[in-house]
Amino acid sequence: MTTHTLIALVDGSAYSESVCHHAAWIAKRMEAKVKIYHVLGRRDVSGKQDLSGAIRLGARSALLEQLSELDAQRARLAQDHGRAILEDAKTIIQGDGAVEVETRLRQGDLVETITAKEDSGDLIVIGKRGEAAGLASEHLGSNLERIVRASHKPVFVANRAFREPRKVLVAFDGGDSSLKAVDYIARSPLFAGLQVTLVFAGAETEGVSKALEDAAATLRAGGFEADTQIRSGEPEKVLGAMTEGEGYDLLVMGAYGHSRVRSLLIGSTTTEMIRSCKVPVVLMR
């Protein structure tokens, strides 16, 4: 069932602004509203954390009270900071056009929160890196990977700088996830009017050619003039090179499966693929 709602996840990272611009762009094309979530970790808001530690022996009750109050102040500051992040995000999204925006401040585990709320949205928008990772690529994708694994909705992974997508590259291998991605593109107003190319990375066979043509036929039935390509080489290298050098603004691919293309982003090559692909990625389950 379509909810006409996007779920956008923001934190204090450099990627949050890009998440907001992408969410606004998606919302306008899909005629959807945006629910912005900022999730405080349990440590951020716990007012009952025991800070007495090694000073229990002989500690004065007044000192323990001060430590308790300090803990409570930190919790209040974390909540105030979260509300400020949400208000800034709302301002950015509404500044990009007439988009209905709601904000949600939640406490707990990010993934648990999103999986509990995902049925209220059609798409999840998240940045490639979070606040804790900063720009350190070795920390890339911890929450991203967990969300993609747990969610049954498409996940739009925003890169650091927003650029309105016009050319879409679809990683196709004939498996269930890539077929679902093709069907999603054909039906969703998000992709209407965009240039779409289907690419298979690997050896050309009669079966591959037929699967590509069938997928292109699905897109043409949806009003697209779809191009198909077969490129020899390793999928991650082919996709990285095409997005880097051929003007593609958006990559769509499956997130699960046994073949190499569909397992790229969930597995040992997660960090390398997202780092090498400098455009937003839509992941399909």
Share above pLDDT 90 across residues of the chain, in percent, rounded to a whole number: 54
The SS3 assignment for 1 reads coil
Whether the predicted pLDDT of 47 surpasses 60: no
Look at residue 276 in the predicted model and tell me its pLDDT. 67
Domains of the chain: 5-44+78-158 (3.40.50.620), 167-284 (3.40.50.620)
Mean pLDDT of 229-255: 89
Q: What's the whole-model pTM score? A: 0.85
Look at residue 277 in the predicted model and tell me its pLDDT. 75
Whether the predicted pLDDT of 67 surpasses 50: yes
- How far is Cα 215 from Cα 196, in angstroms, rounded to an integer? 11
CA-based angle 238:217:240, to the nearest 5?
A: 10
- How far is Cα 127 from Cα 142, in angstroms, rounded to an integer? 11
Mean pLDDT of 131-148: 58
Whether the predicted pLDDT of 131 surpasses 70: no
If one compares 59 and 209, the residue with the highest pLDDT of the two is 209
If one compares 220 and 63, the residue with the highest pLDDT of the two is 220
Q: Tens of pLDDT along 164-188?
A: 999 999 999 888 888 999 999 999 9
- How far is Cα 224 from Cα 239, in angstroms, rounded to an integer? 21
Q: Are 270 and 129 in contact (CB under 8 A)?
A: no
> Token pair for residue 217?
């036929």
Whether the predicted pLDDT of 254 surpasses 50: yes
Q: Are 18 and 25 in contact (CB under 8 A)?
A: no
